Amino acid sequence: SKEELLKNFRQRQAIHNLSGKREITVVNIQKFKDDTDVLRSNDYDINTQRIYFLDEVHRSYNPTGSFLANLFNSDRNAILIGLTGTPLIGKDRTSKATFGDYIHKYYYNASIADGYTLKLIREDIETSYKIQLKEALREVEILKGDADKRIIYAHARFAEPMLDYIVTDFVKSRVRFGDHSIGAMVVCDSADQARKLFEIFINKYNPSQKVIEEVLPYSMAAEP
């Protein structure tokens, strides 16, 4: 909780557990939403050096927002290290401008060579499904007109045939490679599409799970 975090900050010790083992505090940056002076000058202990590791610093750490500024102010003597796989390098905003120069770089190809990351292989989809998806996309574009692509790609008439292809290809891959332990992850165009695919998947392939609202097959989906 926020109160526990403040108590932790103001205790002049680095270890708070009874076993004496080294520890790390994991906290959501939103805990710093309101406090601009979490650690006051009389709370500071010269024997304590705080090190902040901030994850995914390319996404949610707005330099003009309050969360990051309050985190900086919580302990001006702390060391801050930002972690990201895709640092911002644009003209308007860069990760280095906020967090300083790089101290280490680890590239995608090196991660593959070390066995930590799987190599991505692009494969064309089957012609029959490609035609089906194009037709579904055309139907949705006719229904939605000049709607945002995010809305079109999240529509049930497009999402369901795409999901059918993904599931079919996944099942075939398990058979082809003779390995039924193979898992899968679907990277979606948007959060809306992810929610729609999840709803369709549960209703169509795993109906024993409960969902908030029923999703009709795309061929039966009615327009609002």
Structure confidence by residue, pLDDT tens digits, 148-177: 888 888 888 889 999 999 999 999 999 999
Tallying the residues shown for the chain, one arrives at: 224
Could you tell me if residue 100 is left (phi over 0), alpha (psi between -120 and 50 degrees) or otherwise beta?
A: left
Angle of CA points 101, 106, 107, to nearest 5°: 115
As a whole number of angstroms, the distance between CA 67 and CA 28 comes to 10
Q: Quote the pLDDT of residue 175.
A: 93
Token pair 């926020």 in the structure block, residue: 2
Closest CA to 61 of 71, 74, 51, 52: 71
Phi, psi (rounded to 5 degrees) for 53: -105, 115
Q: Are 201 and 163 in contact (CB under 8 A)?
A: yes
Q: Quote the pLDDT of residue 219.
A: 44
As a whole number of angstroms, the distance between CA 107 and CA 85 comes to 9
The H or E element spanning position 80 is: strand 79-82
Structure confidence by residue, pLDDT tens digits, 93-111: 788 888 888 999 988 889 8
Residues of the chain with pLDDT under 70: 1-16, 29-47, 59-66, 209-224
The ranges assigned to domains in the chain are: 2-113, 127-205
